[in-house]
Amino acid sequence: MEPIIKTSNLSIKFGEHKAVDNINFEMSAKHFKSIIGPNGAGKTTFFNLISGELEPTEGDVFFKGLSLRKKSSVERTRLGIGRSFQITNVFPNLTVLENVRLAVQSKRKVRFHMLNHFLKYKEITNEAIGILEQVLLTDKMHQVANQLSHGEKRKLEIGMLLALDTEILLLDEPTAGMSLEEVPAILDVIRSIKERGDKTILLIEHKMDMIIDLSDSIMVLFNGALLADGTPEEIMNNETVQQAYLGGLAYD
Amino acid sequence: MIKQPLLLSKVNVVYAIVVGVMAVLPFVLDSRTMTILLTQFCIFAILAMSYDILLGYTGIISFGHAMFFGIGAYTTAIMLSDYGPSIGIFAVSIVVGIVLSAIISVISGALTLRLKSHFYAMFTLAISGLFLVLAEKWRTVTKGNDGFTFRAPELFRERLYFYFLVLICLVVVFILLKRIVASPFGKVLVAIRENEQRTRSLGYKTLGYKIIASVIAGAVASLAGSLYAISLRFVNTSVMTMDITLDALMMTIIGGVGTLIGPIIGAGVIEFAQHYLSGLAREYPIFERWIIFFGILYILAVIFFPRGIVGTVSLRYHEWKLKKGQKTKASVKLREKEIQR
């Protein structure tokens, strides 16, 4: 089967520093892959290259065989690559519902409609409310995003991503900075997306139990390079990975 | 459940009453100066609303808004003096002005709207500077700095009729813009103001939205310019100057950014304050320098009312409501959002 997403020799240099170094990876549709690696391993940069936030100095990303080299982040989203951000990136002064509705509106291609009141598009509002139910934010619907707790903002991020309904979901540390009580809720949301089985998911995370529980495969980045790629068992038993991730190599 | 605002909502009834009052005001006051002042107020309210589409809704700061106002004013003045003062020519001149403004804002927008906000602001300043020079130097058409007088259509020589036309324009533009900002398109504009990068990652090509917003703003400003030219029956380069842009900016900020009704109120406050402050000069010579008082007023407004008149009032109102505990917190928040938009 043709991989839904593939990178070839993907590299980016910031000055002399190779943040992502010659990564070749591919992934088939409806697969769940996690990316791990110590801080500064280039995980988020790798996401930025896939989603088009950054341009590679070398190499290319392919979506269903189509080169993304000349595609902006907008076009990639429309093709089917959606992402959430590690640092919460929502519309701070809009309500939770409005945040999600903007994503639904984009997916439904209601973009340049100028003369109808936005509430006339009931199906958009209803779908947004449905999404909020999934991410357990219905009761906060009319609050301004600014007033949400950190964990709730993360849920909102995922909600906006779900609303876009893209084939590929790039989740950048969805539980970053969340309190322990908040994590299970996010975990449930991600698990339910996985169980529906229609999405290809790439997840960056640090919480190993969560990764092992969810992932079909894991790839390990280290100093920008691909250190290992395999099933959770393979990765856990890989000595180089243990050294890199659990100490030793990382801080020398 | 969330419902669309009713046509006969409280707010709309208040608007209708205000319009009614404004329509009878010239009869009650029965003074030529008053009618002229009201006309000026309506014209600048239209201009300020168009500026609010950029500043308040899309988050674009433009220092070149006067150029569209000037294009409208010159188009109308030139066409009326060249082809004769008829209503038909006047109507055509408005359309021509709007089309010209739209074309120019598409071109300048495509060139400059990719830039980050402050660079964009500088560019708009430069482009409008260019138009000001054009108006000064293209003497065969614009008669240079001195400008020229022209005859207004017969009907509008009666100040009252012209006032009604301007009032109707104000109402129509207000309703039209209100619709646009409440549409899905308008919601994207607000999203751009809040977080442009995020808007793009949701799959919106933000440049296109910003260009359309500037076309709408330019077209409305051009209409205001056309009306302004008729109200003076005279046009010179002052319509292209930075002063006009600053007036629009201040009216928007004082009234309340991102509210549409705010800029109208701001225009009222500034137009009438200008009138009375300069009137005081006859008794107290210091008021010949009324601009100084304006400067102080602006500074105080920005420090103490950063949300503008409408923003501050609606915030206080909702705080008061919250205290009364009439509504649940959530619904009050929603109302607050609606009013802010």
pLDDT > 90? residue B92: yes
pLDDT digits (tens, 9 = 90+) for B20-33: 888 888 888 878 88
φ, ψ (nearest 5 deg) of residue A62: -120, 130
- Tokens 């007033």 appear where? A147
Quick one: pLDDT band at residue B335, thresholds 50, 70, 90?
low
Tally Cβ neighbours within 10 Å of residue B110.
14
* Residue B259 contacts residue B308 (beta carbons within 8 Å): yes
* CA–CA separation, B63 and B68 (whole Å): 11
Mention every residue, 6+ apart, whose C-beta is less than 8 A from residue A162.
A131, A134, A135, A193
Burial of B38 (0-12, 13-18, 19+ CB in 10 A): buried
Classified by CATH at the fold level, domain A5-251 comes out as: Rossmann fold (3.40.50)
Q: Which residues of A141-180 are buried (b: 16+ CB within 10 A; e: fewer)?
A: bbbbbeebeebbbbbbbbbbbbbbbbbbbbbbbbbbebee
* CA–CA separation, B151 and B153 (whole Å): 7
* CA–CA separation, B242 and B127 (whole Å): 12
The distance from CA B159 to its chain's CA centroid, rounded to whole angstroms, is 22
Mention every residue, 6+ apart, whose C-beta is less than 8 A from residue A8.
A24, A59, A60, A62
CA distance A108 to chain B (A): 11
Query: What is the reported pLDDT for B325?
Result: 63
A105 and B334 within 8 Å at the Cβ level: the answer is: no
A125 in contact with chain B, both atoms CB, cutoff 8 A: yes
CA distance A30 to chain B (A): 22
* CA–CA separation, A32 and A4 (whole Å): 12
Judging contacts by C-beta atoms under 8 Å, the chain A residues touching residue B208 are: 112
The tens-digit pLDDT sequence of chain A (252 residues) is 678 888 888 889 888 888 888 889 888 888 899 998 888 888 889 999 998 888 889 889 999 888 888 888 889 988 989 888 877 788 988 999 999 999 999 888 888 888 888 888 888 888 999 989 888 888 888 888 888 888 888 889 889 998 988 899 999 888 887 888 888 888 888 888 888 888 899 999 888 888 888 889 999 888 888 888 888 888 888 888 777 766 544 443
Provide the percentage of residues in chain B whose pLDDT is more than 90: 40
Query: What is the reported pLDDT for B185?
Result: 93
Query: What is the reported pLDDT for B224?
Result: 96
pLDDT digits (tens, 9 = 90+) for B271-324: 888 888 877 877 777 777 777 777 887 788 778 877 888 888 888 887 887 777
Query: What is the reported pLDDT for B183?
Result: 92
* Residue A133 contacts residue A158 (beta carbons within 8 Å): no
Query: How long a stretch of residues is chain A?
Result: 252
CA distance B148 to chain A (A): 39
Judging contacts by C-beta atoms under 8 Å, the chain B residues touching residue A119 are: 2-4
Single-letter amino acid code for the residue at A185:
A
Mention every residue, 6+ apart, whose C-beta is less than 8 A from residue A25.
A6, A7, A219, A226, A229
Quick one: pLDDT band at residue B174, thresholds 50, 70, 90?
very high
- Domain regions of chain A by residue span: 5-251
Tally Cβ neighbours within 10 Å of residue A41.
24
Query: What is the reported pLDDT for A251?
Result: 42
- Tokens 């999600």 appear where? A100
Query: What is the reported pLDDT for B3?
Result: 59
The DSSP output letter for A55 is -
The distance from CA B226 to its chain's CA centroid, rounded to whole angstroms, is 13
pLDDT > 90? residue B120: no
Of B202, B209, B211, B335, which to mutate for an interface test with A (greatest number of A Cβ within 10 Å)? B202
* Token digits of residue A32: 């769940």
CA dist B213 → A103, A169, B216, B279, B340 (Å): 20, 32, 5, 38, 19
State the first-to-last Cα distance of chain B, in angstroms, to the nearest integer.
20
Q: By CA distance, what is A84's nearest residue in B?
A: B201
* Residue B226 contacts residue B99 (beta carbons within 8 Å): no
CA dist B97 → B91, B220, B261 (Å): 10, 10, 25
Out of A77-81, B92-96, B175-179, B212-216, least confident range? A77-81
* CA–CA separation, B312 and B142 (whole Å): 43
A118 and B184 within 8 Å at the Cβ level: the answer is: yes
Quick one: pLDDT band at residue B58, thresholds 50, 70, 90?
very high
* CA–CA separation, B12 and B17 (whole Å): 9
CA dist B241 → A190, A212, B61, B67, B127 (Å): 57, 66, 17, 8, 12
Question: Which of B184, B202, B205 has the CB atom closest to A164's CB atom?
Answer: B202
Q: Which residues of B157-177 are buried (b: 16+ CB within 10 A; e: fewer)?
A: eebeebbbbbbebbbebbeeb
A109 in contact with chain B, both atoms CB, cutoff 8 A: no
Report chain B's mean pLDDT, rounded to a whole number: 86
Query: What is the reported pLDDT for B105?
Result: 92
Question: Which of A89, A106, A143 has the CB atom closest to B333's CB atom?
Answer: A143
The ipTM is 0.81
